[in-house]
Amino acid sequence: MISVGVLGATGAVGQRFVQLLAGHPNFELSVLTASKRSAGKKYRDAASWRLEVPFPEDVGDIIVSDTTVESLKKVDLVFSALPADLAGEVEMQCAKAGIGVCSNASTYRMEPDVPLVVPEVNADHLGMIDLQRDKGTDGFIVTNPNCSTIMLTCSLAPLRTFSFSDIKVATMQAISGAGFEGIPGMAIFDNLIPYIGNEEEKMERETLKIMGTFDGAEVQNAPFSVSACCNRVPVIDGHSMSVWIDIKDQVEKVEKAFRTWKSTLPDLPTLPEKSVDYIDLPDRPQPRLDRMKGKGMTVSIGRVRPGIRYQAMGHNTIRGAAGASILNAEVICDRDYL
Amino acid sequence: MISVGVLGATGAVGQRFVQLLAGHPNFELSVLTASKRSAGKKYRDAASWRLEVPFPEDVGDIIVSDTTVESLKKVDLVFSALPADLAGEVEMQCAKAGIGVCSNASTYRMEPDVPLVVPEVNADHLGMIDLQRDKGTDGFIVTNPNCSTIMLTCSLAPLRTFSFSDIKVATMQAISGAGFEGIPGMAIFDNLIPYIGNEEEKMERETLKIMGTFDGAEVQNAPFSVSACCNRVPVIDGHSMSVWIDIKDQVEKVEKAFRTWKSTLPDLPTLPEKSVDYIDLPDRPQPRLDRMKGKGMTVSIGRVRPGIRYQAMGHNTIRGAAGASILNAEVICDRDYL
Amino acid sequence: MISVGVLGATGAVGQRFVQLLAGHPNFELSVLTASKRSAGKKYRDAASWRLEVPFPEDVGDIIVSDTTVESLKKVDLVFSALPADLAGEVEMQCAKAGIGVCSNASTYRMEPDVPLVVPEVNADHLGMIDLQRDKGTDGFIVTNPNCSTIMLTCSLAPLRTFSFSDIKVATMQAISGAGFEGIPGMAIFDNLIPYIGNEEEKMERETLKIMGTFDGAEVQNAPFSVSACCNRVPVIDGHSMSVWIDIKDQVEKVEKAFRTWKSTLPDLPTLPEKSVDYIDLPDRPQPRLDRMKGKGMTVSIGRVRPGIRYQAMGHNTIRGAAGASILNAEVICDRDYL
Amino acid sequence: MISVGVLGATGAVGQRFVQLLAGHPNFELSVLTASKRSAGKKYRDAASWRLEVPFPEDVGDIIVSDTTVESLKKVDLVFSALPADLAGEVEMQCAKAGIGVCSNASTYRMEPDVPLVVPEVNADHLGMIDLQRDKGTDGFIVTNPNCSTIMLTCSLAPLRTFSFSDIKVATMQAISGAGFEGIPGMAIFDNLIPYIGNEEEKMERETLKIMGTFDGAEVQNAPFSVSACCNRVPVIDGHSMSVWIDIKDQVEKVEKAFRTWKSTLPDLPTLPEKSVDYIDLPDRPQPRLDRMKGKGMTVSIGRVRPGIRYQAMGHNTIRGAAGASILNAEVICDRDYL
């Protein structure tokens, strides 16, 4: 068992980390950090648990620590659910202190020697850990992308063998993506908001790095363009997106690619049977019905039509955040970086 | 005052017609038709009024008629809120009986001699009424487009002076568009449905006719393509859409077009001060906040970005259905077709 | 025209005050106050208008003032939408400076010489203004009750002629009652919260004062008990409540009382035709369908059953807050207290 | 393993039965019935699975049968999710054919020799099976109550030692209780409906039978009265209720009863660790956060206050329907009635 911690364990993504790590076969949850206000309390009391899944009683007695590298002495690996403005310093300190960092924060995602990884898509980018170590970092920082970018890149994985140069994507994103307190009820009931700060830029930038080629020294960005329109919709969990990709081939070939594609990763606890699942029904995927497929780790695809157009959907705080980061860690362990 | 009727007056669009026509300065509501089940009842009792606006008591005592041409003897003009499968026969009978028909049904929209009109965009297509009369029809049939097509074409009106050939549009459509009984609560709460039957085809087809040129004899379709992804979202009223249009000009020029464009129509009761309103805020338009602009007749635009990308939104049962049809009738009267 | 101001004009209730006062026949909106952060800005820019009704452009250019008595020199009357913790000092200063204060804040509601008024129920309590003036206050403070208490007491007005001693009420309250930022979307989607801070106490306490008798010197509390269970539900506007009242008479008599009761107030701009409206349908009142009756000032009643049980519902930010306060002011003017 | 069937397996409650029975340690799902329209199809295709939990693939290949006793030859026990108007005949035929029937339908609930059972409350009423057998029925019919009645009676179980005579209960019930198609989105978004057909009568009637005493021959109804106000609210799953019970004892004693009460049932697969769970937080229970406690079988209680008032909540299609019926079956097997 590898001893792990969660940074920012009381927020929306932090609670998902705790839920998914409680009972994990390889990772033992031993440190949970939060703001000073929560430090010293039992996690049970500090968390004010707000997931629809019952509280994992086993970890309820862990005393919440302050979010500092000192609190993390006994762990080998930390998962970071910190907001971007807080993540920078403590994540770097952890990495320098020999701790592996799997971060959901955006701070280091675009750094040249930090892997931005969706394992089914670009696990080879983990080779950048060697670059970090060459520079004297004992631990490492590995990041997962922004939630909507994860759904998009998973959906693109089966399409890599096709020729295309232009992607347009309109997202319809769930409110949990903004955190528990992020969006007032009055702002989103009977409504949608056609704006999510920085989200379009993240999708356009991160997708190219993830789909890019890593030659052992640096990433060459993928040679296509991405244009995103991001919308917040009144859905609790599950980011949907309508995607156009200028593939000239027939619909049938694209459908077949979605149906037959399989990840080449080994068997891992958090890897679903199908990372990409093509649903052969006229009105799917739908967030409430499909987001828990593969325990929330499957990206569901549907409605391939000429254009090529298709619909993709996945659970934003599992596949798109905490689960993504944990899967990264499982691949990292499997490849003996830890 | 022109005596008018509403066909299918008890449904979602029918009730909007009644609400908007009650108190109209030029049209006097005198006949309301519905299915046999409702015929003979007072409208007050037959309607089971389900709009958020209080019931217009003035018309409550009208006795609902069966939906036949015989019921409509005393009217000069009817508004049709019938479902497509019922509209065909009775609308044609009305037109032949000398009654003007302004129809929200899809039945005749693509007929070569039936105008498909959004007045701010192609009021000149009303010239097709002459074609109908040349063939011996005393009345006429004029149609308004599908709700989402209306929002799209209104947003395109200010962009006609630009050069473009390709439009991609992802819609997020309100549940009222499917009628009062259309979508079970269990199907759409905490969910979205990436499919609306026939909607993408309608948007792609109708837009080209509306934006086409009418030379007095026939319509030449507009020379661009439209590709649509239609999604149903948990919003009561107001269709939103994220639009890409391959205009090469600068964002500023497009924004200016949206800000400065004005319809050339004369002053009419249902014509809003601004048919297109550009909102200069980062997170708009939003359905709940903007759908009632211009008494529900304004299409709100926002977020013009390179691409060109923008967001459009309008009230689907007012601007996108009943109000659109009434505005058509006002223009028809203004042009002395009635 | 009486020159009026609104204290706390940018919040949820403050915006309702502005909406309802824009265009009022007797009150001229001349001062709008808010926090220091907003002071100096045009109301148009400071408000970030979030009502579903379009912004009242006429008042958009009013420069927002700081919430101090100095800002209010030119007004004769202020409406207070301040939070309870801020209202105390500035409301008292206004009253002492000769300004009439109609307050929605809870601060002074239970003070012995401050009227707590629902005009249809206890307009005679306005006589307490004389008590205030006897103590040297040139202006006055008049309060309206908590939103849910208003609905309850309006529903009790027609029942005063019956004998009863015990009321039990379970409320289902809209999220707008907590202000624009009050309840996170994540907290209330697909959920309800069986707790609203202090609300049960307010209902139990305020109802007895309002229904009490004022003998010119003090209020004798009403001789019955009220027990409340308050729930927050995912409804935007409109507080519903299931009420039990131990009236031994027949259902028909109670129904008749609801149907025939009329307020004895004179004609006033904000007074609806029916302050209490009995809906004779099996499944009403419903918030979305009935909250705008009487321009939001009508309390709708339905389903009188043995018990006696009934359902009541009204618009919480109009009937239950801003509209209530404005109606108070209209009665105050009518009775020449200003 | 006991071979079991589900009658009406494609509806909302039917799908819950299938979900909960797939993988049950003692019951083997072998027959699924539905309407003629579905008969002959694989359950996978007939169900159009609409639960938020992924489809149980193991049972997907079962061929759906027509809902007749002939289809059920190979089962010993059936669970009935039929609507009340269809349940009567086929359930009786099954019982006469020697099959045990655990029914969620209301048809036979009030029959003098049919047990209406919530096992934690009145498992002894199962003795009525002997009465049925005395009359020559080889199988049996055992019913579980209406969903809201189950929550209420579970919450009353710990209070039996107190003296009380009057219960008032205002429910806030989830839309899943009306079936998948039961409530249009337009009817319940931003709304609530203060009426559920027959629900108040069921709660008032069934509670007294369940809480009554069975002397081996007949049930003596419980000696208290129940008065219910039933509301439908926009919540997907989870019925909440605000309850008044005229217990004169102190709040602390009632709280203690809720905290310490334990069912005397033996360990059974569907019996949760806590059938009644008192949550010691000021704003609970909440449907989204608490409905899945005890795998959906726990009734959560909170906010005991003078009155006595308290809040109760449980999952309406698990604890309140399918799970209740399965737990009944487990007790029946444990007591060797099958």
What are the chain B neighbours of D184 within 8 Å (beta carbons)? 180-185
Q: Is B180 on the interface with D (CB under 8 A)?
A: yes
Local confidence band at A264 (pLDDT 50, 70, 90 cut-offs): very high
Nearest to C240 among D194, D286, D288 (CB): D194
Residue A109 to residues A115, A142, A169, A270, D30: CA-CA distances in angstroms?
7, 8, 21, 22, 52
- Alpha-carbon gap, residue C329 to C332, rounded angstroms: 5
Q: What is the pLDDT of residues C91-140, one digit of tens each?
A: 999 999 999 999 999 999 999 999 999 999 999 999 999 999 999 999 99
Q: Is B311 on the interface with A (CB under 8 A)?
A: yes
Mutate to test the interface with A, among D289, D300, D315 (most CBs of A within 10 A): D289
Mean pLDDT, chain D, integer: 96
Q: Is C181 on the interface with D (CB under 8 A)?
A: no
N-term to C-term CA, chain B? 12
Q: Do C49 and B289 make contact, defined as CB atoms within 8 angstroms?
A: yes
Q: Do B54 and C190 make contact, defined as CB atoms within 8 angstroms?
A: no
Q: What is the pLDDT averaged over residues B255-272? A: 97
Q: Is D192 on the interface with C (CB under 8 A)?
A: yes
User: Is B225 within 8 Å of B207 (Cβ atoms)?
Assistant: no
Q: Is C50 on the interface with A (CB under 8 A)?
A: yes
Looking at the predicted structure, is the pLDDT value of residue D258 above 90?
A: yes
What pLDDT, on the 0 to 100 scale, is given for residue D105? 96
Q: What is the pLDDT averaged over residues B196-200? A: 97
Q: Do B194 and A233 make contact, defined as CB atoms within 8 angstroms?
A: no
| Residue in C147, C154, C230, C315 annotated catalytic | C147
Q: Give D130's contacts (C-beta < 8 A, 6+ positions apart).
A: none
Number of cross-chain residue pairs from A and B with Cβ atoms under 8 Å apart: 105
The b-or-e profile of C125-140 (16+ CB within 10 A means b, else e) is bbebbebbeeeebebb
Looking at the predicted structure, is the pLDDT value of residue B324 above 90?
A: yes
Beta bridge partners, C245, equal C167
What are the chain C neighbours of D240 within 8 Å (beta carbons)? 192, 194, 231
Surface-to-core class of residue B278, CB atoms within 10 Å of its CB (0-12 exposed, 13-18 middle, 19+ buried): buried
Nearest to D242 among C229, C283, C288 (CB): C229
Please list the ranges in chain C whose pLDDT falls under 70.
Answer: none
Q: Is C182 on the interface with A (CB under 8 A)?
A: yes
Q: What is the pLDDT of residues A94-143, one digit of tens each?
A: 999 999 999 999 999 999 999 999 999 999 999 999 999 999 999 999 99
Nearest to B302 among A172, A194, A287 (CB): A194
Q: What is the pLDDT averaged over residues D214-220? A: 96
What pLDDT, on the 0 to 100 scale, is given for residue A155? 98
- B residues 119-178 lying closer than 8 A (beta carbon) to D: 175-176
User: Is B159 within 8 Å of B153 (Cβ atoms)?
Assistant: no
Q: Do D186 and B12 make contact, defined as CB atoms within 8 angstroms?
A: yes
Number of cross-chain residue pairs from B and D with Cβ atoms under 8 Å apart: 59
What are the chain D neighbours of B175 within 8 Å (beta carbons)? 185-186, 189
Q: What is the pLDDT of residues A200-216, one digit of tens each?
A: 999 999 999 999 999 99
Number of cross-chain residue pairs from A and C with Cβ atoms under 8 Å apart: 59
Q: What is the pLDDT averaged over residues A51-76? A: 95
Q: What is the DSSP string of D290-330?
A: HTTGGGGTPEEEEEEETTTEEEEEE-TTIIIIIHHHHHHHH
Looking at the predicted structure, is the pLDDT value of residue A78 above 90?
A: yes
Q: Which amino acid is at A319?
A: R
Nearest to D168 among C189, C244, C282 (CB): C244
What are the chain C neighbours of A236 within 8 Å (beta carbons)? 186, 189-190
Residue whose C-alpha is closest to residue A210's, from A328, A84, A88, A61: A328
User: Is D324 within 8 Å of D263 (Cβ atoms)?
Assistant: no
Q: At the topology level of CATH, where does C147-315 sit?
A: Dihydrodipicolinate Reductase; domain 2 (3.30.360)
Q: Give C253's contacts (C-beta < 8 A, 6+ positions apart).
A: C162
To the nearest whole angstrom, how far is the Cα of B290 from the nearest Cα of chain C?
7
Nearest to C309 among D229, D285, D311 (CB): D229
- Alpha-carbon gap, residue D128 to D115, rounded angstroms: 6
Local confidence band at D268 (pLDDT 50, 70, 90 cut-offs): very high
Looking at the predicted structure, is the pLDDT value of residue A249 above 90?
A: no
Mutate to test the interface with C, among A13, A189, A317 (most CBs of C within 10 A): A189
To the nearest whole angstrom, how far is the Cα of C307 from the nearest Cα of chain B?
28
Q: Do C194 and D286 make contact, defined as CB atoms within 8 angstroms?
A: yes
User: What angle do helix axes C12-21 and C323-334 make, rounded to 10 degrees?
Assistant: 50
**Which tokens belong to B220?**
């030449």
What are the chain C neighbours of A184 within 8 Å (beta carbons)? 180-185
Q: Which amino acid is at D122?
A: N
- Alpha-carbon gap, residue C226 to C167, rounded angstroms: 5
| Residue in C94, C154, C239, C315 annotated catalytic | C239
What pLDDT, on the 0 to 100 scale, is given for residue C46? 95
Q: At the topology level of CATH, where does B2-146+321-334 sit?
A: Rossmann fold (3.40.50)
- Alpha-carbon gap, residue D110 to D105, rounded angstroms: 11
Determine the Cα angle at A105 with ends A102 and A107, to 5°: 110
Local confidence band at D71 (pLDDT 50, 70, 90 cut-offs): very high
Q: Is C184 on the interface with A (CB under 8 A)?
A: yes
Q: Is A194 on the interface with B (CB under 8 A)?
A: yes
Residue whose C-alpha is closest to residue D177's, from D3, D318, D324, D30: D318
What pLDDT, on the 0 to 100 scale, is given for residue D275? 98
Mutate to test the interface with D, among A45, A52, A315 (most CBs of D within 10 A): A52
Distance of CA D139 to the CA centre of its chain: 21
To the nearest whole angstrom, how far is the Cα of B186 from the nearest Cα of chain D?
6
What pLDDT, on the 0 to 100 scale, is given for residue D249? 84
Q: What is the pLDDT of residues A160-194, one digit of tens each?
A: 999 999 999 999 999 999 999 999 999 999 999 99
Q: What is the DSSP string of B152-171?
A: HHHHHGGGTTS---EEEEEE
In terms of CA atoms, which chain C residue is nearest residue D287?
C191
N-term to C-term CA, chain C? 12
In terms of CA atoms, which chain C residue is nearest residue D189?
C235
| Residue in A147, A154, A230, A315 annotated catalytic | A147
For chain D, give the percent of residues with pLDDT over 70: 100
Looking at the predicted structure, is the pLDDT value of residue A145 above 90?
A: yes
Looking at the predicted structure, is the pLDDT value of residue B288 above 90?
A: yes
Q: What is the pLDDT of residues B55-107, one digit of tens each?
A: 999 999 999 999 999 999 999 999 999 999 999 999 999 999 999 999 999 99
Q: Do B244 and A236 make contact, defined as CB atoms within 8 angstroms?
A: no
Local confidence band at D242 (pLDDT 50, 70, 90 cut-offs): very high
Local confidence band at B215 (pLDDT 50, 70, 90 cut-offs): very high
Question: Which residues of B are the active-site residues?
Answer: 147, 239
Q: What is the pLDDT averaged over residues D124-142? A: 96
Beta bridge partners, A67, equal none
Looking at the predicted structure, is the pLDDT value of residue B249 above 90?
A: no
What are the chain A neighbours of D53 within 8 Å (beta carbons)? 292
**Which tokens belong to B74?**
């005393």
Ranges of each domain in chain D? 2-146+321-334, 147-315
Q: Give A256's contacts (C-beta < 8 A, 6+ positions apart).
A: none
Q: What is the pLDDT of residues B116-157, one digit of tens each?
A: 999 999 999 999 999 999 999 999 999 999 999 999 999 999
In terms of CA atoms, which chain A residue is nearest residue C190?
A236
Neighbours of chain C (3+ CB pairs under 8 A): A, B, D
- Alpha-carbon gap, residue D209 to D143, rounded angstroms: 12
User: What angle do helix axes D199-210 and D147-156 make, rounded to 10 degrees?
Assistant: 40
For chain C, give the percent of residues with pLDDT over 70: 100
- C residues 255-294 lying closer than 8 A (beta carbon) to B: 288-289, 291-293
